[in-house]
Chain A
Amino acid sequence: EPEVTQTPSHQVTQMGQEVILRCVPISNHLYFYWYRQILGQKVEFLVSFYNNEISEKSEIFDDQFSVERPDGSNFTLKIRSTKLEDSAMYFCASTMDREQPQHFGDGTRLSIL
């Protein structure tokens, strides 16, 4: 069964540093998403992306965040200047049709020191 893959599985970064999280969505999917989950809390929506542009973004997705689809397969989330409160699991998701359920990657654990 096709999967969404994410790298790295764990990223440790100093506060203030830039970090890029990578995702390879399922190959025929057209809609891409990033979510985060702070330890012990619920999964929260960050941003959705379709046709090479952002469709929706949450209040969490401020100017420190950006997304990009640099080629036909990768979908990246960049945090420009990380803060301690950015520590969380970050999940990428994709779907072929936005009415259909989203399929999640196994996440990147981001730890900010």
Chain B
Amino acid sequence: RKEVEQDPGPFNVPEGATVAFNCTYSNSASQSFFWYRQDCRKEPKLLMSVYSSGNEDGRFTAQLNRASQYISLLIRDSKLSDSATYLCVVSGAGSYQLTFGKGTKLSVIP
């Protein structure tokens, strides 16, 4: 049983494109939600927390649907530097350990 499931990818998009990542989680009691990015053989780096009302940070928009147990990330105007693996991460339900999805790899092409 996969606790956090993501689009398998890879996504290959041209510069300037809009790309969306989806994620579902199995534990309905989860309380905290994040998107991290991970460059090849590097550590996960926090991209943004995800709030119930949805939130935006520059070109990045995150949405949470608790009823569907679904999280999304939208990247507008993709840059070459956005190329990375995007990790959907969940915690809570009596635990503060982070549960990671396997990630979706994004390659932004010139």
Contact = CB atoms under 8 A, between A and B. Distances in A.
Interface of A: 31, 33, 35, 41-45, 48, 55-56, 58, 89, 91, 93, 98-99, 101-107, 109
Interface of B: 32, 34, 41-46, 49, 87, 95-103
A103 B47 CA distance: 11
B96 A48 contact: yes
Secondary structure class of chain A's binding surface, majority of residues: strand
Given A56-B96, A98-B96, A105 B101 contact: no
B100 A102 contact: no
A68 to B, nearest CB: 19
9 contacts: A31-B96, A42-B103, A43-B100, A45-B97, A91-B43, A91-B44, A93-B98, A98-B96, A102-B98
B5 to A, nearest CB: 11
Given A43-B87, A99-B32, A104 B45 contact: yes
A61 to B, nearest CB: 11
